[in-house]
Structure 1
């Protein structure tokens, strides 16, 4: 069984803590590698490498930093198949989905290639008598990212792409469940021309996370994970004077009005609910049907669509989705299915007990459908993060809007309708950070920004886009005056009041 190293100072470094975690193949259920779990000393070594490398990297002009990002983008495209296969082997998502994971990260790298323009400041000539004012954006120094298992390529690139392009050095602590792709990304960054030490990958668990949050040289932390941990990360980082953006969980709703194109809506909902085995923070696990007739039609069509789903190993090109990431997560999902039954929801399709011939040890969960779910149920309130779809029946448009608005999470929401006025009202009224209109997974493109409201996001700035540039930089504003020469014998003007621009 292979040992996965850290990546510090531009080279592979064996773990020294003596603690390891197993990396499984979700398709078979067998351990395939060991990942080291760093201690504080190993994290400190990575930060020191980053601190030393960052000063020289920040001095490189933005155009030359952009050239490294352009070359990294090219290498991602060259190695796309290799990266997708590696990702699927540890995560379990099908290869086509893994390619999408990498592609969405690559698009953020494309955005970061524009860093010479994105870092430009403002200039005002003649703001006062002989006074000019200009601003600039400057890197923070050493920054860090803590990323989840469900997007081991995309989310790290969301973070380190803008951060490194802006002149920072980066410490990446990826999920210990699927660590190989983040490590490979770091290797490709070096191949692209990034100086050693600017990007370091440190594997680990809570010990490594706490070391990042407490390290005085780490100026900012970006986190994506569950809401309870996101809140704790945000609080601890803020207490240490760090800038922090912490993205939490989700319970996204898809509202279906009676005038919707039902066939298209069902196709969209099934893909959004069951794709990647539901292991997406932008998955769509709740469908809100407005009116009993709407609910009955949706239920019938959903059952038919679910019957046509193919669950297979991640390398099966015909599979719609593969296994979930771990045995523990499979047990958790199946526990929620039983909870839904106990709470009184109607179990229409039961995905428990699903096995795949030849992969009986794999972490597979079949597609599950509940009807007549109510907001009082724990299964409605919690993020299940698996292939479980719940139908909630609303009697009016107003009730349908209120459900995602009142929910504790506020990541994404979608509405399916042909009525432009209803869609416009919904987008204006619903209290959720990202809204789709006939778009089931409304993840913004790379030159906008990603972020939810309420328990889905902690911090003022979102991921990637201009918010990402703002998060990883600080603004400096210079007010300058070049006074005229004072003739011999004349006295320069004096002022003892706050300067104004009159």
Structure 2
């Protein structure tokens, strides 16, 4: 059985003293082993990144940009191949995997504008003969730790901006679907990136902790669950690192009485069950304003669910694939089977669906009369389960959402511009959609939530990523004539 190896200093390598299984979620069969890095191997990757840093930092901005232009072309040419790798290890359908690659390309395109993005500022004559200018300089070696649900897009969210800013990177992808990260690293190499600028190590807590504790690594980017994000933020920041750690979500979609209910039902089904709900921006709570709206939207969503095709992601007829592991499938199912005992109404029970073969499939579920305090409401399920909460009016909807500990994404469906504008003003969530169920910003903006959905001050990709991956330096300069020099013990003044 083939072993997926690390990519360090431009070469695949692995001692493979410890390995983990990589499954095909559609069949349940193990298809690869992935090498788990030892402390020594992670330190080799960090050392390679450190050695490559001076040369890459000194590389001209135009030459750096050329790498990203070539990378963008390579990703576009090999999109189908990369999507197939994602489907084979993650399980999502091919069209969804191809869409993920496209969103990753957006961030490469943004990074290609680094000549503009890294411009500083200049003020002439702040005092007689004195000028001030600012610089953006790289932070150094960056650690990037990414989740299983987007094995192409999230790594490109991090490494594109980090490398564009002149940093070098050690990437630790999820051990559940690791092949895409190595594929991306090889494309970077083909695009002209020097060896050692991007290194990939696989593994578990041993690899993560080594990255977090290394004094050479100056910044950490992470995307994953809230408990792990909080832990990583605390450990890395205690070690003096700059940290952005994106956590979990419980995304609400508010349906107002004046909304296009057919359009809202289509959006809810797409956003709740796409990628089997394994998205941090998936809609997991539908907030229906008024019982009349609730009754209608529940019926419309249930009717659409009955027509979904669930199957192997390589089958063009499939609209939803399996979950990532058997254990995760069973965890998701447990929320549905326990919902009735909590007082919810199980409108559609996806756990009752039967599938051939040994894949990690579960059907789509719809729960009505869900209330705060229930596990199905409080927890991030990360599966194809949509909970419906009924509220009496707009104010109750806003209060419900603002009381939730997660604040990643939210959406409101309405035909009223005043309601939409007020919602934008009132809601305490990082990303807001108006008649858009999954408001993931385009590459020129930044992605991130509030509250327990983000630990750290900077959102990921876009303009905030440039701030995160650079340090600002301000230079005050004066070039006096020899006769102008004099001793002055007073406090410096710009007057």
**1 CA distance for matches of 2:285 and 2:118?**
40
> Where do residues 272-421 of structure 1 align in structure 2 (5 Å cutoff)?
272-357=271-356, 360-421=357-418
**1 CA distance for matches of 2:290 and 2:189?**
56
**1 CA distance for matches of 2:288 and 2:67?**
49
Whether 1:2 aligns to 2:11 is no
What is the DSSP-based 3-state SS (H/G/I as helix, E as strand, rest coil) of the residue aligned with 1:352? helix
CA deviation map 1:325-368 (0-9, x unaligned):
000100110111122122110000000143333xx200001010
**1 CA distance for matches of 2:241 and 2:14?**
29
Moved over 6 A (4+): none
For structure 1, list consecutive stretches of 5 or more residues without a partner in the other structure: none
Name the counterpart of 2:196: 197
CA deviation map 1:297-323 (0-9, x unaligned):
101111111111111110111221100
**2 CA distance for matches of 1:395 and 1:477?**
54
Which of residues 483, 493, 498 is equivalent to 2:486?
A: 493
Name the counterpart of 1:160: 159
Normalising by the residue count of structure 2, what TM-score does the alignment of the two structures yield? 0.99
Name the counterpart of 1:450: 447
**8 Å Cα contact 1:137-1:475 kept in structure 2:** yes
**2 CA distance for matches of 1:224 and 1:426?**
27
**1 CA distance for matches of 2:331 and 2:15?**
30
Name the counterpart of 2:245: 246
What is the DSSP-based 3-state SS (H/G/I as helix, E as strand, rest coil) of the residue aligned with 1:74? helix
**8 Å Cα contact 1:350-1:369 kept in structure 2:** yes
> Where do residues 10-25 of structure 1 align in structure 2 (5 Å cutoff)?
10-16=10-16, 18-25=17-24
CA-CA distance at 1:207 after TM superposition: 0.8
CA-CA distance at 1:138 after TM superposition: 0.5
RMSD of Structure 2 on Structure 1 (CA): 0.8
**1 CA distance for matches of 2:241 and 2:191?**
30
Which of residues 480, 483, 486 is equivalent to 1:483?
A: 480
* Gap change, CA 1:167 and 1:366, over 3 Å in 2: same
What is the DSSP-based 3-state SS (H/G/I as helix, E as strand, rest coil) of the residue aligned with 2:482? coil
CA deviation map 1:72-91 (0-9, x unaligned):
11000111110001110000
For structure 2, list consecutive stretches of 5 or more residues without a partner in the other structure: none
Whether 1:55 aligns to 2:48 is no
**8 Å Cα contact 2:337-2:351 kept in structure 1:** no
Whether 1:128 aligns to 2:127 is yes
Normalising by the residue count of structure 1, what TM-score does the alignment of the two structures yield? 0.98
**2 CA distance for matches of 1:100 and 1:156?**
15
